[in-house]
């Protein structure tokens, strides 16, 4: 056993002497000191060694390892400044004059950034931030929002139900109900969050995306307040040139209801872009949370955050937002 060790040492020392350039040195390192090198292989001799030989062999192996590593390093610095290294086209292996590498910093995901910007713009208009759970019951996702049992939106195939009466929320409008249930008006909140729908994934659909909900409840709130708020938001967020348009639409929880379009620059052209729904809170919703609909009035809106981010930054495929490719994400 110990003979074999000596043999290995002689062989390695001879080969190291013959090494003429950095490439050959690297080959040597792999052959002897690498993870699958000869020294590693020699370690397995231990298990075949007799009881008396074992300690000696162990010590010998350790000593040889240290010796070879030291010899390797010595050869490395010799070669670093030798003609051999230059001939192989390499400079010294360590160039102390090279500038250091700056550590890369993490950053918030583009969707997080856009949500923070949205919250800030609405905060300047006096809106607080509210939150709600992603796992919801039917009351908050449908019933209190005036979406009756027979409504197609409640089809089990169009929702992620987890049991008979609980599902992943399909809209942040659930948070309107939660806030009104435990707060008395006046109320002015925005509520950002994830929502879930079993949509087939493509460039514009994802089964999880983000919305930001808005709710304003007070006495004598009118459609003019809604439109003014949305115009102010558009100007603050997209620039003074941004125009807002409300297109009549239908939602069970608002009456009248509208779809919000914003004219914005996408790459080189200006275009109307749909951002979400809005309207005056339906009296049935106030009744569901115990507010007197003769006393209280309000408006609500729900905007798609991905859509805003995609339009704003010219991102043409929603899937890029979730693939976690750092080359994509670090552009924002
Ligand atoms: N919850 C609606 C959706 O997900 C969007 C919406 C429409 C929210 C009108 C509202 C609203 O607050 O008033 O499609």
133 assigned to some structural domain: yes
Rounded distance from Cα 173 to ligand 1 centre (Å)? 6
Query: What's the burial of 73, exposed, middle or buried (CB within 10 Å: 0-12/13-18/19+)?
Result: exposed
Q: Count the helix, strand and coil residues of the chain and give each as a percent rounded to the nearest 5.
A: 45, 20, 35
Ligand 1 touching residue 146 (CB < 6 A): no
On the question of pLDDT at 262 being above 90, the answer is: no
Residues 309 and 162 in one domain: yes
Check residue 153 and give its pLDDT: 93
140 assigned to some structural domain: yes
CATH number at residue 222: 3.30.930.10
How far apart CA 287 and CA 144 sit, in angstroms, is 9
Residues 121 and 79 in one domain: no
96 assigned to some structural domain: no
Residues 144 and 283 in one domain: yes
105 assigned to some structural domain: no
How far apart CA 319 and CA 307 sit, in angstroms, is 12
Contact 4, 53 (CB under 8 A): no
157-209 pLDDT tens trace: 999 999 999 999 999 999 999 999 999 999 999 999 999 999 999 988 999 99
On the question of pLDDT at 263 being above 60, the answer is: yes
Residues 295 and 146 in one domain: yes
305 assigned to some structural domain: yes
Nearest residue (CA) to ligand 1, atom 10: 301
Q: What are phi and psi of 302, to 5 degrees?
A: -140, 120
Q: How many residues does the chain have?
A: 332
56 assigned to some structural domain: yes
Q: Which ligand 1 atom is at minimum distance from the Cα of 170?
A: 4
Ligand 1 touching residue 213 (CB < 6 A): yes
Q: Which ligand 1 atom is at minimum distance from the Cα of 145?
A: 1
Residues 149 and 257 in one domain: yes
The domain boundary residue, chosen from 88, 119, 143? 88
224-258 pLDDT tens trace: 999 999 999 999 998 888 888 999 999 999 999 99
Rounded distance from Cα 207 to ligand 1 centre (Å)? 17
Rounded distance from Cα 278 to ligand 1 centre (Å)? 6
Residues 146 and 34 in one domain: no
101 assigned to some structural domain: no
Residues 77 and 158 in one domain: no
273-316 pLDDT tens trace: 889 999 999 999 999 999 999 999 999 999 999 999 998 888 98
Residues 14 and 147 in one domain: no
Number of separate domains in the chain: 2
What is the domain extent for residue 28?
A: 2-88
Q: Which ligand 1 atom is at minimum distance from the Cα of 277?
A: 7
Residues 171 and 53 in one domain: no
Residues 78 and 225 in one domain: no
Ligand 1 touching residue 282 (CB < 6 A): no
β strands within the chain, DSSP E: 128-129, 135-137, 166-168, 187-196, 208-218, 243-251, 254-266, 269-281, 297-304
76 assigned to some structural domain: yes
Residues 81 and 131 in one domain: no
Residues 28 and 123 in one domain: no
| pTM, full prediction | 0.71
The domain boundary residue, chosen from 57, 88, 119? 88
Rounded distance from Cα 162 to ligand 1 centre (Å)? 23
Nearest residue (CA) to ligand 1, atom 13: 278
């Amino acid at each position: 056993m110990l003979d074999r060790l000596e043999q290995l040492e002689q062989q390695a020392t001879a080969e190291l002497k013959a090494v003429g350039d950095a490439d050959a040195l690297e080959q040597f390192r792999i052959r002897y000191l690498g993870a699958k090198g000869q020294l590693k292989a020699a370690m397995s001799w231990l298990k075949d060694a007799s009881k008396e030989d074992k300690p000696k062999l162990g010590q010998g192996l350790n000593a040889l390892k240290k010796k070879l590593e030291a010899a390797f390093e010595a050869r490395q610095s010799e070669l670093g400044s030798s003609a051999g290294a230059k001939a192989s086209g390499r400079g010294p292996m360590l160039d102390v004059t090279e500038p250091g590498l700056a550590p890369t910093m993490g950053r918030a995901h583009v969707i997080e950034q856009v949500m923070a910007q949205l919250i800030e713009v609405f905060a300047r208009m006096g809106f607080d931030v509210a939150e709600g759970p992603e796992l919801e019951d039917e009351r908050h996702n449908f019933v209190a929002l005036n979406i009756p049992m027979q409504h197609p939106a409640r089809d089990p195939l169009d929702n992620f139900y987890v049991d008979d009466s609980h599902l992943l929320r399909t809209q942040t409008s659930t948070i309107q109900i939660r806030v009104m249930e435990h707060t008395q008006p006046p109320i002015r909140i925005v509520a950002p969050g994830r929502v879930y729908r079993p949509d087939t994934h493509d460039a514009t659909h994802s089964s999880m995306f983000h919305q930001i909900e808005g709710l304003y409840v007070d006495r004598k709130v009118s459609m003019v307040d809604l439109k003014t708020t949305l115009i102010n938001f558009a100007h603050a967020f997209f620039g003074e040139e941004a125009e807002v348009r409300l297109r009549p639409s239908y939602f069970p929880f608002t009456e009248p209801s509208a779809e919000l379009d914003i004219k914005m620059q996408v790459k080189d052209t200006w275009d109307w872009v749909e951002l979400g729904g809005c309207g005056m809170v339906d009296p049935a919703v106030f009744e569901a949370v115990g507010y007197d609909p003769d006393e209280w009035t309000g408006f609500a809106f729900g905007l798609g955050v991905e859509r805003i981010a995609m339009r704003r930054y010219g991102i043409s495929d929603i899937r890029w937002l979730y693939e976690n490719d750092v080359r994509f994400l670090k552009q924002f």
